[in-house]
Amino acid sequence: MKIRTKEDRRDRIKLRLRKRIVGTAERPRLSVFRSGAHVYVQAVDDATGNTVASASTVEPSMKAKMGEKVRGGNIAGAQLIGQAIAERLIAKGLKRAVYDRNGFLYHGRVRAVAESARKAGLEF
């Protein structure tokens, strides 16, 4: 696989990560995707291929919680999403997860999601 674009680079990193990261029913994989304007997180059970829980800045319930300075494209919005996914998983009885940064570098919004999920009680 030749690296010609940023997407090719991210796909290569993603494949390298996914060789080692596997979600189970007791410990789902917390997959993060960030676009320019939004952040999406979903907890996936790879054994069955089901999404256990999800949260994104596109949801109407999340948009209602966002203030003037909180948007999907900034760190404050990512922190809101991290807290939301942690609350949803804990409500389903899951306290542990495996973090999948999905080929993105661990800084900025990707890091903010992870740290706020940890603060809300999720372990990974």
Q: Write the CATH number for 37.
A: 3.30.420.100
In a domain, 124, yes or no: no
Q: Is 64 exposed, middle or buried (0-12, 13-18, 19+ CB in 10 A)?
A: exposed
Q: How far apart are CA 101 and CA 114, in angstroms?
A: 9
In a domain, 1, yes or no: no
The first and second tokens of residue 109, run together, are 């919004």
Number of domains in the chain: 1
Whether the CB-CB separation of 86 and 116 falls below 8 Å is answered with: yes
Q: How many residues in total does the chain contain?
A: 124
pLDDT at 68: 86
In a domain, 106, yes or no: yes
Q: Residue 107 carries which side chain, given as an amino acid letter?
A: H
Please identify every stretch of the chain with a pLDDT value under 70, giving residue numbers as ranges. none
pLDDT at 2: 84
Q: Is 123 exposed, middle or buried (0-12, 13-18, 19+ CB in 10 A)?
A: exposed
pLDDT at 67: 85
pTM: 0.90
Range of the domain at 27: 6-119
